[in-house]
Amino acid sequence: MQPADVLATERISPVGKAASKKRVLEDVADLLATALGEPSSEQVFERLLERERLGSTGLSGGVALPHARMRGVEAARGAFLRLEQAVDFDAMDGQPVDLVFGLLVPEEATDEHLELLASLARVFSEPAFRSRLREAEADAAQILSIIAGKDETDANSGQGPGSVRLPA
């Protein structure tokens, strides 16, 4: 599976205006729901909020990975939001968040969910990768290319340093 299977340009917001953690989760839910039809964005928001109540999905370096398993979701779906102004997300390092990758996976996909989250956390922990995302034009296609690792491809592996290797 390639990142394009999880993330598509219509689920990328390169100029997010959210000013609070709740609003960020609502925006991510809206983006994720566009891929699904059912469940609704309200249902997705409730699942993301439920997960967030268990502990913040704010990592470090200005990154959050809100995620949830959900009945009715047939395949992993991602959404990316780059905020104009960073917001408090109760991140591990106490810093505000401006890069948000939301993820929904099928309710029964626990191993896939964990592997995908680990892969995302690993790539988003790279300072150079975060910088490329922050410096990119306000263009969903360019951001998708960065996340997919196509902006700086390693000739040996076909994957760039910022690529997300997703489980098959």
Q: What is the pLDDT of residues 119-131, one digit of tens each?
A: 999 999 999 999 9
The residues that are catalytic are: 67
Q: Specify the pTM.
A: 0.86
Q: Per the structure block, which two tokens stand in for 64?
A: 């959050």
Beta strand 97-106 with 67-70 is parallel
CA 166 from chain centre, in angstroms, equals 13
Q: Using CA atoms, how far apart are residues 80 and 120, in angstroms rounded to an integer?
A: 12
Q: How many CB atoms lie within 10 A of CB 61?
A: 18
Q: Per the structure block, which two tokens stand in for 11?
A: 């689920």
Q: Is the pLDDT of residue 151 over 80?
A: no
DSSP structure string for 37-58: SSS-HHHHHHHHHHHHHHS--B
Q: Using CA atoms, how far apart are residues 40 and 21, in angstroms rounded to an integer?
A: 20
Q: What is the pLDDT of residues 41-64, one digit of tens each?
A: 999 999 999 999 999 999 999 999
